[in-house]
Amino acid sequence: MNKILYVTVVLIWGTTWLAISQQAGQVPPVAAVFHRFLTASLIMFIISLSKREIRWIGFRSAALAIVQGLCLYSFNFILFYKGVFYISGGLESLIFSTAVFLNTLGSRLFWNQRAPKGFIRAALLGLFGLMMILFDDLGLGSDSWKGMLYCLGGTTLFSLGNMLGIKLHREGVKPLCSGTYAMVGGTMVLALIMIMGNVPFALPLKAAYLLPLIHLALLGSVIAFTSYLTLVNRIGAQKTALITVATPVIASALAVCFEGESLSLFKGLGALLILLSNILGQRGRKTRKKERPGSLATSKQQ
């Protein structure tokens, strides 16, 4: 089941860039993100209600879930959209893939979990492969440092959201329930930002915008994020974050098919290195001497 969830997230997140590019320029970026997560929140609420998983989780857990929403469904996306004005999408993907190391650091700091043996080497191998694929799209300009800081900030928030997901899991809150709270909270903050910035809420009623919106909300948000956070609880934040290294391979393959990008041996070797890194990274066993009571390895899986 874990492998199915893993491949599902890689395939979905590898295609979301195409939907985002189709929406580009039709509405302000913050409005596009708001429409996405407003739709996703409604879907999540309906699913949670039908499965009877939505419930009051207490003020403390609700607050944690809302903060998680700010990290995963609000501020991080705003930072990424700001970053793309200064750097290429390829460099943005490369920076986002450093979530592997941020999750490893966070797991060690917050949960005393060491990375599996050989995991760091596998992650570095994947990043090297990603650089090979994105080599032609890593150009730097005079203001590139601004974009890199924005994207690093967004990646840090994403990683923090992963850590909060583990915390909520240990408090007995299932991903579907916590995800509903988080998306609603993140969407409310996005709405507040739009009000403060006088950004129109208008939704373009045309297929060129609505079809990508459904893809991003249902697949990219509801299914992919819920699957991702489920994996964080099952196999650990470190291994799950290897997804961020693998998704650009799917995006690059689609670019070859639909945007006429050239396919080279260099890119092919990079893709093979990423595949190898994911295989090696998932095989490692944890080597910590003693597990904390109630740790991820000993907590009950959802």
Average pLDDT on 246-251 reads: 82
Asked, for residue 250, whether it belongs to a domain, the answer is yes
Asked, for residue 92, whether it belongs to a domain, the answer is yes
Mean pLDDT of the chain: 84
Asked, for residue 11, whether it belongs to a domain, the answer is yes
Minimum mean pLDDT range among 18-22, 80-84, 95-99, 260-264: 260-264
Please tell me the predicted confidence (pLDDT) of residue 112: 84
203 secondary structure, DSSP code: -
The tokens describing 278, both together, are: 């994911």
Average pLDDT on 142-152 reads: 85
The number of helices, as runs of H, and strands, as runs of E, in the chain is 14, 0
Q: What is the pLDDT of residues 190-231, one digit of tens each?
A: 999 999 999 999 899 999 899 999 999 999 999 999 999 999
The tokens describing 228, both together, are: 């991702």
**Residue 285 predicted with pLDDT over 60:** no
Please tell me the predicted confidence (pLDDT) of residue 85: 78
What whole-number percentage of the chain has pLDDT above 70? 89
Asked, for residue 293, whether it belongs to a domain, the answer is no
Asked, for residue 289, whether it belongs to a domain, the answer is no
Please tell me the predicted confidence (pLDDT) of residue 147: 84
Round to whole Å and give the CA distance between 232 and 60. Answer: 21
Counted domains in the chain: 1
List the one residue out of 75, 88, 179 whose CA is nearest residue 135: 88
Asked, for residue 98, whether it belongs to a domain, the answer is yes
**Residue 42 predicted with pLDDT over 70:** yes
- What range defines the domain where residue 102 resides? 2-283
Q: What is the pLDDT of residues 113-133, one digit of tens each?
A: 887 778 888 888 888 888 887
Is 250 within 8 Å of 11 (Cβ atoms)?
yes
Please tell me the predicted confidence (pLDDT) of residue 284: 57
Is 183 within 8 Å of 37 (Cβ atoms)?
yes
- Cβ-proximal residues to 104 (8 Å cutoff; 6+ apart), any chain: 115, 119, 120, 123, 237, 238, 241
Average pLDDT on 139-143 reads: 70
Asked, for residue 213, whether it belongs to a domain, the answer is yes
**Residue 236 predicted with pLDDT over 60:** yes
25 secondary structure, DSSP code: T
Please tell me the predicted confidence (pLDDT) of residue 184: 93
**Residue 94 predicted with pLDDT over 90:** no
**Residue 290 predicted with pLDDT over 70:** no
Confidence at 92, pLDDT banded by 50, 70, 90: confident
Please tell me the predicted confidence (pLDDT) of residue 139: 65
Q: What is the pTM of this model?
A: 0.82
List the one residue out of 141, 28, 130, 137 whose CA is nearest residue 81: 28
What whole-number percentage of the chain has pLDDT above 90? 37
Please tell me the predicted confidence (pLDDT) of residue 296: 40
* Largest pairwise CA distance in the chain: 57
Q: What is the DSSP string of 35-76?
A: HHHHHHHHHHHHHHHHTT------HHHHHHHHHHHHHHHTHH
Asked, for residue 163, whether it belongs to a domain, the answer is yes
**Residue 137 predicted with pLDDT over 70:** no
Is 107 within 8 Å of 113 (Cβ atoms)?
yes
